[in-house]
Structure 1
Amino acid sequence: MKIRSRATLVAAMAVGAMAAAPLASASAGYQSAGASPGPSNDARFATAGSVTPTYGARTIPHWSFTYTDPTNSQTYTATMVGSDPRQGGSTTVRTEIIPLEFTFVAAGQDMSAVSQLYGYDAKAQNWDADPTTGTPSDVDKTLASPIFHSNAYDPDLGGDTGQYGDVFMRAQFNKIGSSYHVRLSNDSVLPKQTFAVPASQGVAYQRVSGAVAGIVDYGWFSTKIQQLMGSLGIDATTVPIFLTHNVLLFQGHDNYTNCCVLGYHGAAKAVGNGTGPANGQGNNPVQTFMYAAYTTPNTYTGFSPTTSPRRGIADIHALSHEVAEWLDDPFVNNAVQPWQTPTAPQYGCTPVLETGDPVVGVWFPMAGNPDPAANNVWHPEDEVNANWFTRDGTTPLGLQSWDGRYTFMGPRTTAIPGGYAGFGHVATGC
């Protein structure tokens, strides 16, 4: 399997292709979130596969447009979920949540690097990470969250009402209050899938904040996801969401400080997984998918909209990131002129349209979370609008945001100290 990376300061990894792997032309990319200004052991996101579907291939509803970037006069094509907002229409995409339970064993793992990084005695421990336990469980909370339920958004976010992804798409393309929609409908929660994590592939430990997290090897985890997509027979028009309870990913054998990926989205040609023949003669179904960790509050310390506006890693933050990125780049093939995040240019250039990466951890509060540990507040992520990546090349097409802003939060984003004023204008090159 070929590894695909979105950042230049990233160590690539090789994921062994299994003889029974259900996905063809898949790839996995690990990057230290080119958008995340945090240190090692901080929140990151990744992609896992890139496919360009052939015309008529069985997959999710999507539309495409071509624009010219005015800053380099190059022409690019982008594909997004739903229908063309210039033509209107309402789209509903089906999802299925697949809970993943992981059991960890303390078996002499070397935690010295983690202890040295944080300055405390990190110890491996036996732990069961199950997103289906508790009242409500992580699965229940996800289904009750703004990802699937309609909420009213503050006036300075556009004042719209709807699901998180739907409101983001409507605000991004100046369709607030219109009949244009891109909604999710979760058809079912599949039976829980349980994995015993070998001591050589992962460890659970109490982080400095006091929260317990499990971390597993990226390649080992991704192979399990591939196998599940083959064995569960998920239709290519449905999007599987693999949900964990505070189980994150690290890269490199025993390299626990090269951590933590909280989610990824990807696409791959399905081969014999119940949605079509193994030999599709170039027109195999294309499966899109997501993984997200439902994150326990304070796994990443200190989220506050006033004292720490870049630390909103809790509850649905990871899933909101992946949903928005999937909406704007479902097949992970939307190339753009390479960009640098204004908050951390040292992370290098990224040549794909990934809406969440530049604002990892940036969030806005929404009431209604049943978890008192999260102050009864949801922590969805801010997102960067397409016009930032296209350098306003989409504006002549009528594909601009509702008030010209470049992020979902607009002035809330640009008011954050530390370089976020750079989101008051289009992306800069490398």
Structure 2
Amino acid sequence: MSKFQKFVVASLCLTLCVTAGFAQKLTKLEVRNGDSAYIKGAKPMFAVLPRAVETPSPNQPDVQVPIWTNTFKFNNQTFTYHMVGTDPAAGSATSNIPLVIIPLKFKFSDGTVLSATQKVCGDVKNTNFRVKNSPLIKKAAFAPGGTNVGTTQYVDAFQRANFWSAVSTTSPNYHVLLSPVTVKPLQTINVGANGTSVAGPCARIGEVDINFFDNIAMGLLTSLNIPANTLPLFLDYNTFLTSGGCCILGYHSTNNAGTQAYAVAAYSDPGIFSAAGIRDIHALSHEIGEWMDDPLIPGTNFVPPWGHIGQVGGCQNNLETGDPVTGSAFTVTTGGGFPFTYHPEDLVFFPWFARVSPSTSVNGWYTFLNAFAAPQPVCH
């Protein structure tokens, strides 16, 4: 969804402990030059694919997960936005969105096989296991700046912190959770001439054309009978998507009928990119966070233009919570029999996009890790 020129984003660390049909076309992809010792001309980025139908009326969203709608004003202009769940200002409510993980196995013509069910290089567990036991699904205690926002899933903790002025007063039991979680059988994709693989720091790295893959994804949503009230998550290991170059780490969109939101993300080895935070669940946290706060692709959540920050080299005007902080991560360390340290991405709060000052989010911050001191001036 954005252009991405050379970026070096510091990886912020905050250690937290866990407690118990038709191909869609990639558009408006601005790119910054990226660094990778393994992929020539790598440009780490995230994208959105537009739906193939007319955008619905702002007052009649047709995605079948629960959606709430509100507006804000800036410079005498009214902006309408939609988010998953219920309005935090309306009181405590819990929205449970079923998560359907669709694990992928890519077979390349050079014999390389990259599968979400094979052991992650240097690990004793596979991608499926690590994701199912990650803070995206399992509960963890989150306390940005020492403020306890809950023992819950990361993106739910982000959303509670995002609307903390309401959650901390009138809606203490507000939640938007990915539950229940199911895993579909492994789906094998023969890449052929639509991609290649290269050597990586540990396992090989796959590169697959995004339009080739998305055409397959559209078919799988139908053939696997994915209900429209779920979030389907296409999950791969160490395989990035391409559109004239690598590397799209993930994207989110809706199906051609506009009734099914879905996300795609790569679980990746450390060390592929110079930004140390781009590893394991970084891309997944980015896409799930953006699905939560901008579910009706394309571009229904318009905001005043922002840019020249994070992965964005120009200006864009959508409420994509991960793009301004791509590569910025913190750590969550799990316990149990198979301990692991995860690297979810920082995410940007609504007041930053709406130019609200002071921020109404937790601690008066503008991101979950307090990366920005103030809203950005309008981008030109």
Q: Do 1:388 and 1:406's aligned partners in 2 also have CA atoms closer than 8 Å? A: yes
The Cα offsets for residues 40-66 of structure 1, whole Å up to 9 and x where unpaired, read as 403210012354377384600010101
Structure-2 residue corresponding to 1:278: none
Structure-2 residue corresponding to 1:66: 71
The Cα offsets for residues 82-138 of structure 1, whole Å up to 9 and x where unpaired, read as 0000012111111100011001123xxxxxxxxxxxxxxxxxxx3110101235221
SS in 2 for 1:249: strand
| Residue 157 (structure 1) shift | 6.2
Residue 195 (structure 1) aligned with residue 193 (structure 2): no
C-alpha separation between the residues in 2 aligned to 1:356 and 1:408? 11
Structure-2 residue corresponding to 1:164: 154
Structure-1 residue corresponding to 2:253: 266
What pairs up with 1:248-287 in 2 under 5 angstroms? Answer: 248-252=240-244, 258-270=245-257, 286-287=259-260
Structure-2 residue corresponding to 1:255: none
What pairs up with 1:335-414 in 2 under 5 angstroms? Answer: 335-342=302-309, 347-368=313-334, 376-392=340-356, 400-410=360-370, 413=371
The Cα offsets for residues 196-224 of structure 1, whole Å up to 9 and x where unpaired, read as 111x21111113x3542100111111111
Q: Do 2:235 and 2:264's aligned partners in 1 also have CA atoms closer than 8 Å? A: yes
Q: Do 1:6 and 1:352's aligned partners in 2 also have CA atoms closer than 8 Å? A: no
Aligned CA distance change for structure 1 residues 250 and 180 (closer, same or farther; 3 Å): same
Aligned CA distance change for structure 1 residues 384 and 37 (closer, same or farther; 3 Å): farther
SS in 1 for 2:363: coil
Q: Do 1:325 and 1:355's aligned partners in 2 also have CA atoms closer than 8 Å? A: yes
* Equivalent residue pairs, number: 344
Larger RCO, structures 1/2 (Cα 8 Å, 6+ apart): 2
C-alpha separation between the residues in 1 aligned to 2:366 and 2:141? 21
Residue 90 (structure 1) aligned with residue 94 (structure 2): yes
The Cα offsets for residues 214-256 of structure 1, whole Å up to 9 and x where unpaired, read as 001111111111121122221110111000011101112xxxx
- Identify which of 20, 26, 29 aligns with 2:27: 29
Identity of aligned residues (%): 34
What root-mean-square deviation, in Å, do the aligned CA atoms of Structure 1 and Structure 2 show?
Answer: 2.7
- Identify which of 154, 168, 179 aligns with 2:173: 179
SS in 2 for 1:147: coil
Alignment-mate amino acid for residue 64 of structure 2: T
| Residue 158 (structure 1) shift | 3.2
Residue 136 (structure 1) aligned with residue 128 (structure 2): no
Structure-2 residue corresponding to 1:111: none
Structure-1 residue corresponding to 2:264: 291
SS in 2 for 1:340: strand
| Residue 30 (structure 1) shift | 6.0
C-alpha separation between the residues in 2 aligned to 1:8 and 1:261? 10
Alignment-mate amino acid for residue 138 of structure 2: H
Q: Point out where structure 1 has 5 or more consecutive residues left out of the alignment.
A: 10-19, 107-125, 253-257, 271-284, 302-309, 414-422
SS in 2 for 1:286: coil
92-101 or 129-138, which moves further after superposition? 129-138
C-alpha separation between the residues in 2 aligned to 1:197 and 1:325? 28
C-alpha separation between the residues in 2 aligned to 1:77 and 1:388? 15
- Identify which of 365, 369, 373 aligns with 1:424: 373
Aligned CA distance change for structure 1 residues 409 and 52 (closer, same or farther; 3 Å): farther
Larger Rg: 1
Q: Point out where structure 2 has 5 or more consecutive residues left out of the alignment.
A: 6-20
Q: Where do 4+ consecutive residues of structure 1 move more than 2 Å?
A: 5-9, 26-34, 36-40, 49-58, 133-136, 157-160, 341-345, 369-372
| Residue 369 (structure 1) shift | 7.6
The Cα offsets for residues 147-200 of structure 1, whole Å up to 9 and x where unpaired, read as 0011012451633321001100000000259101011014311111101111x2
Aligned CA distance change for structure 1 residues 371 and 32 (closer, same or farther; 3 Å): farther
| Residue 389 (structure 1) shift | 0.7
Aligned CA distance change for structure 1 residues 371 and 212 (closer, same or farther; 3 Å): farther
Q: TM-score, normalised by structure 1?
A: 0.74
Q: TM-score, normalised by structure 2?
A: 0.83
Aligned CA distance change for structure 1 residues 131 and 391 (closer, same or farther; 3 Å): same
C-alpha separation between the residues in 2 aligned to 1:387 and 1:365? 24
| Residue 344 (structure 1) shift | 6.8
- Identify which of 311, 316, 340 aligns with 2:281: 316
Aligned CA distance change for structure 1 residues 369 and 322 (closer, same or farther; 3 Å): farther
Residue 300 (structure 1) aligned with residue 289 (structure 2): no
